[in-house]
Every structure is written in structure tokens, then in C-alpha cells.
Amino acid sequence: MAQSTEGTGGLAFDKKKRTWPNELNIFIALLIIIAIFETLGQTLPYMNDQSFLFDTRDRFDSIFNEARLRIIILQVSIIGIIALGVTQVIISGGIDLSSGPLVGATAMIAMSFAQTELVNGGLNPKAVFGPWAFDLPVLIPVIVALAFGALIGAINGSLIAFTRIPPFIATLGMFLICRGIAQAWTRGKPVSFPTEGYAGLGSGMMPVYWFLGLAVVFHFILKYTVYGKHTYAIGSNEDAARMSGINVQKHKVMVYVIASMLAAFAAVILSSKNLTAQSGMGIFYELYAIAMAVIGGVSLTGGRGSVIGTVLGAMVFGVIQSGFTYVKLDAYFQLMAMGIIIISAVVLDKVRQERAASRR
Amino acid sequence: MSEDTRETILETRGLTKHYGGVHALNDADFALAKGEHVAIMGDNGAGKSTFVRQITGVEQRTSGTIIFDGKEVHFKGPIDSREAGIETVFQTLALADDLDVPDNLFLGREITKFNWLGPFRLLDYKAMRKATLEGLERTAVKIPNIRNTIQNMSGGQRQCVAIARTATFSSKLTIMDEPTAALGVQETAQVENIIRTLKDNGEPLILVSHNMRQVFDLVDRIIVFRRGRIVANLKKEDTDGQDVVAYITGAKTGAEYAGAA
């Protein structure tokens, strides 16, 4: 159908004509999921009368069950920080599988520079380095972590941009390398007893503040800066981006560097929160981060998605996880259910896109 | 008005491109006056696109000279040529589907604020929207809503957006590589209208096309390529379709290009 554009309206910029934002769909989905768990809680025979998200027993000075809300958001905020980076990678048309093991490796390395000298009056039993590395200012482990993240990201990005190997392969290789680094760093022994300053980075609700703060920053960056616009452009049509004069290779390296630095920062927060670093930290995090982004409407084909979507995706993720526990679904089945939900999210997104395409 | 009295905007001398042993383009001497519309015709593989790619810097020429706007130029890439003022509308649409009209027009040369922020400098959406509307107006392109993503537009609208870049950036030369090859009748008419608008505005154009009717409708002069060489340089008034076909197929060769066949 050859659709003429002549006479079809003027040139005005019409705010009302903007399309229905995808983020609203995810928000509605979030509300529906909450409603489902709430209903299940009221109807399942083995449940007591406790509500899922509301404060029905007047334990708190609010209408919500604050304890559960806190746990939900605390639970997702560290992986959420990784998801912010993964969002950018996927929008640029790539994928990053190395973020989980990178968390493990970075946690080990950063924690080694954050150890305190005296533990219960004796020398730190988990000391990695000599006395020079004790009680360093908190900035040093953070800088070491970010630098390590930047290095891994630069390798990922350079491999993908210059050798043109698929991002899946490059980051899969890095996945193994990073897990190897995490294990080789101390031959598998955990690194513990951080300084007070380091422990403060991720204590209490700090991970949530970091997550939401970084989300605001990257929402702004993706939406209102040249970096963000080029990220969308490359994911949308790499050839067009190149022809338009965007240095695609340089930009890709930058995207992977930022993503890995975010994962490294998540490692700092995680090891600080747990007061220890172990080589097995961050298992499945890369997949959960991708899942959050995908549930949040970030398209794996690139070019589409947003930080708001990913934050909402993280909330959906947290609510589902918490909801499964709430309805006492066996932990063994939770992974399966999560898998089904991720697949459904992508299928729904595809259906929605195809319907939008047929409408034009 | 004879073209000789007008200033030349683009000239190539002995432009040559070899891909290994393949001589895709040989000794192309070409000149385009300001305000002139020229068509490049020829069979597939005759060297039309190769010629365009050398001018726009998409590829590096083997030898020869390109003089643009009075200066000899050495474009290292399409960005260089665009910055110099050559706007190219490619056969395959160089548009990002998920971005809207202003984003696409300004892709790679955004209007920004706070430039000291480097890659994180801010986009000036308002200024880009304004310039987009002005550019669309100048080319008489009508798009229902410029905030829609390109993805939801018809082929004609997309091509119009690509062409509107020219007007938005008031380029010195427009090159179109088969702009209507993938379009329907109505959409083709729309693109042709835009080309006429360019003509009225005195903006020079190189049009690569297979469409004989379109060429005779729109341009002043026809250059025919065959087997990597220019074989004819014909004023529209002095020729007709059959004549041009004869040159394209090799039945005829221009007197001044006798050595070329």
C-alpha cells in the first residue's frame, strides 16, 4: 500500500501523537504480577492471612509491608547496577556475558586492597598482601576495582569492535577468564575483613541508593547526551551510524568499558555488603542482569530500550522472586518459573512489535 | 544559459579506481556546474557507483584528482566529504529505524550544548527540531509527526527524510544513488518533486538512475558510463531515449571518447 504523505497533516510537532511508552506496559505488568501474588496469598489454602505487599497486621507505620519492600529492592539493586550497563550494551546491539564472573574477580581484587590490619586484636588471618596493603583509604580499592573493570571492558570492546567476533563469543571467553582470575587470585580462598570505610559503601540500604542514583545518571546520559544517541543509533542500524560519521568502533569500546565498570562497582558494593569476597560471587548475575533488561523492554536486536524500563524490569524480577517465596514455591522450582517468565517477556515484546509493524 | 559561464562546483580529472586487477573506473573526467542537475546512467557494473564512492570518499581512489568548490580535495571518508558539503542519499537508506526524524537528520553531527563534556555533551533537541522543520519546509517534505520513529514510516517518507538532510545542512552538492529504486509510483513522484525543488533552489545534483523517464524529466545533462569509462556526455535537448540506450549498450560511443570503447 503506497501511502502518500501529501496532505497528511502539517509539520507540527504534536506531543499528543507520541506513541504509548513501552515502560507503561511494564509498569502495568508489574501491578498485575503484584495483584496475582496478592490474590494467591488470599486464596491458597496453606497461606495464612499475611498480605504480600500491604501492611495488614499494622506492624509498620505505613500501608505497605515495608520489610518485604526493602528486601525486594535490596535484593535486586546490586544486579540492577550491572543491568544498567548491560542495558547499554544490548541497546548498542551487543551482549555481555562476562559481568557475573567479573563481579567475582573484581570483588576478590578490590577486597584485597580494602583489608584491615587487626582483627579481634590479631593480624588479619585472610591477608592477601603484606602490611603495605592494610587500612588503605577507601578510595584505593574502589579505584582498583573500576580500573580492573575498565580494563576488562576495554578488552571486550576492542575484541568486538576490531576483530569483529560476535559479542557473545568475546564475552563468553571473558566469562571464563574472569572466573579463572577470581579463583586464581587467592587459590580459591575467600578475602575478608574490610576496613570500616569499605564496609560502609554497601551497608544497610546503601546498595539501593547507589542503584537508583546510577539509574538516574544513566537515564539522563542515554536520553540526553550524544553518547546515548549514538548507542541507540549503532544498535538500530550500524551501517547508517558508520555512514553518518559516528566512530562505531570507538563507541563500542566505550559502551563495554562503561558496562564493565558498572559491574565492577557492583562487585565493590556486593563485597562491602557481605564483608567478604569469594571467587564464586556473582554466579548467574550476568543472566539475571540480561533478564532484567529484557523484561524491561530492552530489545536484544538493539536500538530499543531504556533505563526506566530496566529499573522496572528489575522490580518485576524482584517482585517475582519475593512472590515465589511468599507463596512458598519450592526454591527448586523458582529457577524454572523464572526462565518461563523471561521467555514470556521476550515473546510478548515480539508480539507487540509485530502488531505495531502491521499497523503502519 | 551555457554551463561554461557558470562556476564549477565539482571536477574530476583522470579519476581511476582498480580493485586488484579489476579496472572498475578508468580516467573519468567530469565537471558539474553550480545549480546544474546531471544524471549518471549505465548498465550494472558500468562504474556509476564506483564513481560516486570515489567522490564521496567511501573508497580511496587509485589515481586522479578531485576538485570540489575550487579546491583539490582528499576525502579520507564519507564524513570528510559531508563536512565539505557533499550530501549523499544512498540506495540503501542510511537511517536508524529506532530514531525519530531530527535524530536521523542530525546523526553524527548533533547540535549540542556543554561541548566540554566530550562524548557526554548534551543534545539540543529543541534546536534540532527547529532546524528539521525548516529543512523539511524547504524541500516541501511532509511528515505527519517528526517525533515518530522512522520505523513506522513508508518507504517514500523515509527517502524524503534522507533527502531532507540536504536541505537542512544547506550542502553544496547532492548525490543521489537511485533514490527511487525501491519506491512505489506515488512515492517516486514525491521524491521527484523534491528534486525539482532542489533545482529551483539552484542546488547542484548528481543523480544515478536507471529510469529513463525520470532522467529526461529532471536533469540538464546525461553522462553515460560503460565498462568503467565515461562514453558519453549529452545535453538533454540534443538527445533522446534511444540515443542514450545506444550509448549504454555500447552500440554508440561519444566522438570525444572514441578511445574508450
For A305-339, how does the pLDDT look when each residue is reduced to its tens digit (9 = 90+)? 999 999 999 999 999 989 988 888 888 888 888 88
In a domain, A8, yes or no: no
pLDDT above 80: residue A284: yes
Task: Please answer yes or no on whether B98 and A232 come within 8 Å at the CB atom.
Answer: yes
Handedness of CA A203, A207, A213, A218 (dihedral sign): positive
On the CB side of B220, how many CA atoms lie within 13 Å of its CA? 19
Confidence at residue A3, expressed as pLDDT on a 0 to 100 scale = 37
Give the model's pLDDT for residue A8: 36
Q: Are A84 and A214 in contact (CB under 8 A)?
A: yes
Q: What distance in Å separates residue A50's CA from the closest CA in chain B?
A: 45
* C-beta atoms surrounding A86 within 10 Å: 30
Tell me what percent of the residues of chain A surpass a pLDDT of 70: 92
Q: What is the DSSP string of A311-359?
A: HHHHHHHHHHHHHHHHTT--HHHHHHHHHHHHHHHHHHHHHHHHHHHHH
pLDDT at A43: 86
SS (H, E, C) B34-81: CCCEEEEEECCCCCHHHHHHHHCCCCCCCEEEEEECCEECCCCCHHHH
pLDDT value of position A130: 81
The pLDDT, as a whole number, for residue B255 is 67
Q: What does the pLDDT average to over A226-240?
A: 94
Chain B, 69-108: which have a CB under 8 Å from a chain A CB? 77-79, 82, 90, 92-99, 103, 107-108
* Chain A neighbors of B93, CB-CB under 8 A: 240
Chain A CB contacts of B109 below 8 Å:
244-245
pLDDT at A50: 75
Whether A49 is in a domain gets the answer no
Helix (H) or strand (E) holding B17: strand B8-19
Chain B: residue nearest A357 by CA? B152
Does a structural domain hold residue A24? no
Cell of A204: 544497610
In a domain? residue A2 = no
Chain B residues within 8 A of A303 when measuring between CB atoms: 96-98
Q: Is B123 within 8 Å of A14 when comparing Cβ atoms? A: no
H or E element that contains A33: helix A22-43
Distance from CA of B60 to the nearest CA of A (A): 15
User: How high is the pLDDT of residue B2?
Assistant: 44
Which of A7, A225, A304 has the CB atom closest to B123's CB atom? A225
Say how far apart CA A313 and CA A293 lie, in whole Å.
Answer: 6
Residue A208 has pLDDT above 90, yes or no: yes
Quote the pLDDT of residue B258: 60
B153 interfacial to chain A (CB closer than 8 Å): yes
Task: For residue A216, report the phi and psi dihedrals to the nearest 5 degrees.
Answer: -60, -45
B144/A17 touch (CB, cutoff 8 Å), yes or no: yes
Containing domain of residue A263, as a range?
63-354
Q: Rounded to whole angstroms, what are the CA distances from B31 to A53, A175, B6, B64? A: 75, 57, 11, 14
Question: Which residues in A have their CB inside 8 Å of a CB on B?
Answer: 2-15, 17-19, 221, 224-227, 229-230, 232-233, 235-237, 239-241, 243-246, 251, 254, 303-304, 356-357, 360
Res. A178: pLDDT tops 50: yes
Give residue-wise pLDDT tens across range B133-177.
888 877 777 777 888 888 877 777 788 888 887 767 768 899 998
Query: What is the pLDDT of chain A when averaged over all its residues?
Result: 88
User: Chain B, 25-44: which have a CB under 8 Å from a chain A CB?
Assistant: none
Sketch out chain B's domains with CATH numbers.
3-260 (3.40.50.300)
Which pLDDT band, with edges at 50, 70 and 90, does A6 fall under? Answer: very low
pLDDT grade for A9, boundaries at 50, 70 and 90 = very low
pTM (global) more than 0.90: no
The span from the CA of A182 to the CA of A148, in Å, is 12
A28 in any annotated domain: no
Across the range A1-17, mean pLDDT stands at 40
Instruction: Identify the pLDDT of residue A91.
Output: 97
Distance CA B15, CA B65 (A): 6
Range A157-182 average pLDDT: 96
- Residue A34 belongs to some domain of the structure: no
| Mean pLDDT value across residues A36-55 | 83
**Predicted ipTM > 0.90:** no
Please judge whether B96 and A17 are an interchain contact, meaning their C-beta atoms are less than 8 angstroms apart: no
The pLDDT assigned to A357 comes to 67
CATH of the domain at A125: 1.10.3470
Round to whole Å and give the CA distance between B160 and B98.
17
Q: Is the pLDDT of residue A147 over 60?
A: yes
pLDDT at position B1, please?
Answer: 42
Is residue A208 situated within a structural domain? yes
Higher pLDDT among residues A128 and A230, named by residue: A230
Instruction: Report CB contact under 8 Å: A245, B152.
Output: no
Please count the structural domains in chain A: 1
CA-wise closest residue to B114 among A226, A94, A255 = A226
Cα-Cα-Cα-Cα dihedral of B218, B221, B225, B231, to 10°? 150
Residues of chain B scoring pLDDT < 50? 1-3, 261
Query: Residue A12: pLDDT above 60?
Result: no
Amino acid identity of residue B195, one-letter, is I
Contacts of B200 (CB under 8 A, 6+ apart): none
Contacts of A4 in chain B (CB under 8 A): 156, 186-187, 190
Cα A144 from Cα A114, distance rounded (Å): 10
Does residue A302 lie within any of the structural domains? yes
Q: What is the pLDDT of residues A74-98, one digit of tens each?
A: 989 999 999 999 999 999 999 999 9
